[in-house]
């Protein structure tokens, strides 16, 4: 591996364990993680010392070291653990580990139990996934490799044998498997899987989670055979689409490895890493979590050894940091030693060195947010929309509206709706969470009885947790609504329904000079309600224009139901307004969503950030006080492609409400690396961030109040 500039001296890097208090787990002290994902050819070309110097010089606290399982990077004696053809008897793993230890770097062993070769297939056909025809499932990218089945003895015989061999040879701080579990529920017809419920059903998911938990705990026990502080982690990610039950996983995992390395589809918005952070925060209760930034060209078309645009890598890593995850920079292969693409080196080193100057501000205690957005894993996995859209579009759309409104929000897992968890939120949003159990509906009802507000859309609660359709909404009594028939969509190329404005209301702010606004493409009709705000104008012909007018210009079918119950405010949209907004770009729908969220929260927020531009905001209570993270998404490539450069936005005026008994003594901008003035009065502090290029963090140093009140200007 060549280096673009000299590495920092080894003595400039301090070990995570050297700095860790005795009662803090070693992984919780990590602030930066690096990985060179080694190839079979690397033992022939890699400069091991230069590799270690790079990561140490970038002040990484841990590195991942390849063991694999497909190809051994050490002289393995486990049958079917094929040694790499360029290994030539070397203990490449051992050399890497020794170089890392000399620089006080923690080491995580990286395995891949997802694939193996034809000789293993011939000897153990029961280890491998099968097509419905009975043929083994061969890798599309690497012919000759075959997919292993998680329900087979491969996972309980072969892989534990590799782990035990590694434990006998090396002192690893943790053990990690790549490639398992799959980011989609597997479809397999091997003998073991034929005994299970049909794939991609709720009953199958129960068995999947049972097996996943068993294997995780098995591998974790093997890791701890070497030393008590070691543990097992696996390949997660996928944001809201993860296959294991994340609420269950959060109970026993010690490190969430977010393998979400970059935009993975051509129409992906930029905030994928931030969304992954919100998912982790919903289930982990402050446990260690990372998100990878791939240095290489990620996406539907990949170049594994070609560096992605620097601006895209920087905004992805900044999202990771802002959302509370540990930044993790990942490059494939050591071919840089041959003097090929070295652009990735400066990107990662510069970013890591900046974060290292401000480490105290990345130790987060609690998020600051007044809105919870329910993430429904069961809905994501099993619900089939009545039209050809992706469930991801529901989350992308509500996410976009929340950014547009500059709201402070957390994700809330559907299995964590207990009142003691959600009562801190002023409002809960249910973006077509179609699958909800009776108990989950009851929990949301309790939340409303305690003064919480709700926004829900389309088929929310129309199905049980087993994906069985109800006769009426599970939340019918909570919202005071009732279904009035099957889902209605627009026929062919017809206009979707419109919503007629029946009376003024705050959710209609900004809708001037019109009686009609856009409706959704599909809706689940509701029975009439008293004094509606919006009613449905049914869809009608779009072409020819001579016939493009509503045959029924007025109905009593509500296009939204708004209610107030005590201090609770409730809003129900019977249409799928999120994906309609996302696919059409219709600003009526985004404005309607933003206005409605503002109405149910009564316009109150713990932190307001006013200014031009599209931004994402995170706020945390930290060790020094508080941190406000502002990510600038004002860019022509926010919704497609990659950031190529940043487009700075101007002044952002902040009002930050402080908890009782706290005052602010200093505010520092960490990206600009300078202090700024502020004005404090009562329980709030006001200040202005002069501009944001890519990302800014306002660090508020806080102390306990001495009881004084009044106004002052500091610094």
CA distance 172 to 230: 7
| Domain membership flag for residue 122 | no
Each residue's pLDDT tens digit, 234-254: 998 778 888 999 999 999 999
> 528-581: per-residue pLDDT in tens?
999 999 999 999 998 999 999 999 999 999 999 999 999 999 999 999 999 999
Question: What CATH number did the domain enclosing 74 receive?
Answer: 3.20.20.80
- State the pLDDT at residue 388: 79
**Is residue 1 assigned to a domain?**
no
Helix, strand or coil for residue 374? strand
Task: Determine the Cα–Cα distance for residues 678 and 691; give it in Å rounded to an integer.
Answer: 15
The predicted-structure confidence for 599-648, as pLDDT tens digits, reads as follows 999 999 999 999 999 999 999 999 999 999 999 999 999 999 899 999 99
Please check whether residue 400 lies inside any domain of the structure: yes
Q: Does residue 467 share a domain with residue 596? A: yes
Q: How many CB atoms lie within 10 A of CB 424?
A: 13
Answer with the one of 366, 386, 402 that is the final residue of a domain.
366
Q: Any alpha helices (H) in 436-557, and if so which ranges?
A: 438-449, 476-479
Residue 564 and residue 497 in one domain: yes
Residue 182 lies in a domain: yes
Q: How far apart are CA 562 and CA 399, in angstroms?
A: 22
**pLDDT at 22 (0 to 100):** 59
Average pLDDT over residues 245-267: 92
How far apart (Å, rounded) are the C-alpha atoms in residues 330 and 159? 24
360/453 same-domain check: no
Residues in contact with 251: Cβ distance below 8 Å, sequence separation at least 6, in sequence order: none
pLDDT band with cut points at 50, 70 and 90 for residue 336: low
Least confident residue range of 339-353, 421-435, 591-605 = 339-353
Q: Are residues 343 and 357 in the same domain?
A: yes
With 70 as the cut, is the pLDDT of residue 8 above it? no
Judged against a pLDDT cut of 50, whether residue 1 lies above it is answered with no
pLDDT digits (tens, 9 = 90+) for 269-293: 999 999 999 999 999 999 999 999 9
Q: What does the alpha-carbon distance between residue 482 and residue 462 come to, in Å, rounded to a whole number?
A: 11
Cα 75 to Cα 96: distance, rounded to the nearest angstrom = 14
CATH code: domain of residue 589:
3.40.50.880
Give the separation between CA 132 and CA 193, rounded to whole angstroms: 11
On the CB side of 542, CA atoms within 13 Å amount to 10
In a domain, 129, yes or no: no
The chain-wide mean pLDDT, for the chain, equals: 93
What is the rounded CA–CA span in Å between residue 157 and residue 149? 12
Rounded to whole angstroms, the Cα distance separating 312 from 318 reads 10
Question: Any residues with CB less than 8 A from the CB of 24 and at least 6 apart, and which?
Answer: none
Residue 715 has pLDDT above 50, yes or no: no
Q: Is the pLDDT of residue 72 over 50?
A: yes
Assess whether 459 and 347 both reside in one domain: no
Asked if 371 and 402 count as a contact pair (C-beta separation under 8 A), the reply is yes
- Do 516 and 553 reside in the same domain of the chain? yes
Residue 595 has pLDDT above 90, yes or no: yes
d(CA 239, CA 259): 9
Residue 345 lies in a domain: yes
Q: 187: which residues sit within 8 A by CB, 6+ positions away?
A: 199, 200
Q: How confident is the model at residue 19 (pLDDT cuts 50, 70, 90)?
A: very low
340 pLDDT more than 90: no
Residue 707 has a pLDDT of 59
- Burial (Cβ within 10 Å: 0-12, 13-18, ≥19) of residue 50: middle
DSSP character at residue 590: H
User: Tens digits of per-residue pLDDT, 515-529?
Assistant: 999 999 999 999 999
Would the pLDDT of 9 be above 90? Answer: no
Q: How many domains does the chain have?
A: 3
Q: Is residue 49 part of a domain?
A: yes
- From 366, 387, 403, the end of a domain falls on 366
Peptide bond connecting 550 to the previous residue in cis, omega within 30 degrees of 0: no
Closest by Cα among 243, 265, 247, 256 to 292: 256
294, 434: one domain:
no
pLDDT of 111 over the 90 cut: yes
The two beta strands, 232-236 and 255-258, are parallel
Q: Does one domain contain both 304 and 403? A: no
Whether the predicted pLDDT of 339 surpasses 70: no
Instruction: State pLDDT tens for residues 358-414.
Output: 999 999 999 999 999 999 999 999 999 887 788 888 999 999 999 999 999 999 999
The verdict on residue 141 lying in a domain is no
500 CB neighbour count, 10 Å cutoff: 21
- Contact 180/152 with Cβ under 8 angstroms? no
CATH (domain of 680): 2.60.40.1180
Domain range spanning residue 330? Answer: 32-114+148-366
The pLDDT of residue 700? 98
Per-residue pLDDT tens over the stretch 203-231:
999 999 999 999 999 999 999 999 999 99
Banded pLDDT at 21 (limits 50, 70, 90): low
How, if at all, do strands 115-117 and 145-147 pair?
A: antiparallel
Residues 582 and 643 in one domain: no
Residues 498 and 645 in one domain: no
Residue 349 has pLDDT above 70, yes or no: yes
Residue 343 and residue 409 in one domain: no
Task: Answer whether 481's CB lies under 8 Å from 561's CB.
Answer: yes
Query: Is residue 496 within a helix (H) or strand (E), and if so which, with residue range?
Result: none
Is the Cα torsion angle 236, 357, 331, 320 positive or negative in sign? Answer: positive
Q: Are residues 567 and 699 in the same domain?
A: no
The residue among 336 and 226 whose pLDDT is bigger is 226
List phi, psi (to 5°) of 612: -80, 155
DSSP 154: I
**Euclidean distance between CA atoms 486 and 505, whole angstroms:** 29
Q: Is the pLDDT of residue 432 over 90?
A: yes
Last residue of a domain, one of 600, 629, 660: 600
Output the pLDDT for position 17.
37
Helical (H) or strand (E) element with 455: strand 453-457
* Residue 711 pLDDT class (50, 70, 90 cuts): very low
Amino acid 265: pLDDT: 83
Percent helix, strand and coil across the chain, each to the nearest 5: 30, 25, 45
């Amino acid at each position: 591996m060549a280096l673009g500039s000299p590495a920092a001296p080894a003595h400039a890097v301090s070990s995570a364990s050297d700095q860790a208090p005795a009662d803090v787990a070693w992984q919780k002290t990590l602030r930066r993680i690096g990985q060179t994902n080694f190839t079979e050819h690397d033992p022939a070309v890699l400069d091991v010392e230069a590799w270690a110097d790079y990561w140490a010089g970038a002040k990484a606290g841990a590195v991942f070291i390849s063991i694999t399982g497909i190809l051994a990077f050490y002289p393995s004696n486990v049958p079917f653990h094929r040694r790499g053809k360029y290994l030539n008897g070397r203990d490449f793993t051992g050399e890497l580990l020794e170089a890392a230890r000399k620089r006080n770097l923690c080491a995580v062993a990286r395995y891949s139990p997802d694939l193996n070769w034809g000789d293993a297939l011939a000897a153990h056909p029961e280890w491998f996934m099968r097509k419905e025809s009975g043929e083994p499932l061969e890798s599309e990218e690497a012919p000759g490799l075959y997919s292993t089945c998680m329900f087979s003895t491969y996972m309980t015989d072969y892989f534990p044998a590799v782990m035990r061999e590694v434990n006998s040879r090396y002192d690893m701080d943790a053990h990690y498997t790549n490639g398992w579990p799959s980011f989609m529920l597997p479809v397999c017809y091997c003998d073991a899987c034929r005994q299970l419920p049909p794939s991609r059903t709720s009953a199958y998911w129960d068995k999947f989670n049972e097996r996943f938990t068993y294997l995780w705990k098995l591998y974790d026990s093997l890791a701890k055979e070497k030393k008590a502080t070691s543990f097992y982690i696996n390949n997660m990610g996928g944001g809201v689409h993860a296959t294991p039950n994340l609420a269950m996983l959060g109970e026993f995992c010690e490190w969430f490895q977010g393998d979400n390395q970059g935009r993975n589809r051509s129409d992906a918005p930029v905030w994928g890493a931030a969304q992954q952070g919100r998912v982790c925060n919903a289930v982990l209760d402050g446990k260690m979590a990372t998100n990878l930034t791939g240095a290489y060209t990620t996406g539907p078309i990949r170049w594994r050894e070609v560096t992605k645009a620097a601006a895209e890598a920087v905004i992805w890593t900044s999202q990771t940091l802002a959302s509370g995850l540990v930044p993790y920079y990942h490059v494939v292969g050591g071919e840089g030693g041959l003097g090929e693409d070295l652009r990735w080196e400066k990107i990662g080193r510069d970013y890591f060195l900046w974060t290292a100057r401000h480490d105290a501000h990345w130790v987060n205690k609690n998020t600051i947010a007044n809105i919870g957005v329910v993430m429904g894993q069961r809905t994501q996995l099993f619900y089939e929309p009545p039209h050809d859209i992706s469930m991801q579009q529901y989350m992308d759309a509500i996410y976009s509206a929340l950014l547009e409104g500059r709201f402070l929000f957390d994700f809330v897992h559907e299995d964590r709706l207990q009142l003691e968890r959600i009562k801190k939120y002023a409002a809960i949003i249910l973006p077509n969470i179609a699958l909800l159990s009776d108990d989950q509906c009851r929990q949301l009802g309790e939340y409303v009885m305690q003064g919480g507000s709700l926004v829900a859309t389309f088929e929310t609660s129309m199905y049980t947790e087993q994906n069985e359709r109800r006769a009426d909404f599970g939340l019918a009594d909570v919202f005071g609504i009732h279904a009035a028939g099957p889902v209605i969509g627009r026929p062919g190329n017809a206009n979707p329904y419109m919503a007629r404005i029946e009376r003024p209301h705050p959710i209609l702010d900004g809708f001037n000079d019109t009686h009609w606004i856009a409706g959704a493409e599909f809706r689940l009709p509701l029975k009439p309600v008293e004094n509606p705000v919006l009613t449905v104008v049914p869809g009608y012909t779009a072409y020819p224009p001579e016939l493009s007018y509503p045959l029924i210009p007025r109905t009593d079918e509500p296009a939204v139901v708004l209610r107030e119950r005590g201090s609770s405010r409730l809003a129900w949209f019977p249409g799928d307004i999120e994906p309609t907004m996302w696919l059409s770009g219709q600003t009526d729908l985004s404005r309607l969503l933003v206005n409605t969220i503002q109405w149910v929260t009564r316009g109150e927020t713990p932190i307001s950030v006013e200014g031009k531009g599209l931004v994402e905001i995170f706020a945390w209570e930290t060790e020094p006080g508080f941190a406000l993270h502002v990510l600038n998404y004002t860019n022509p490539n926010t919704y497609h492609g990659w950031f190529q450069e940043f487009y700075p936005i101007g002044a952002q005026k902040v009002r930050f409400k402080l908890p009782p008994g706290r005052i602010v003594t200093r505010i520092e901008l960490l990206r600009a690396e300078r202090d700024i003035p502020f004005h404090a009065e009562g329980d709030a502090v006001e200040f202005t961030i002069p501009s944001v290029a890519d990302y800014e963090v306002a660090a508020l140093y806080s102390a306990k109040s001495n009881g004084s009140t009044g106004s002052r200007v500091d610094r």
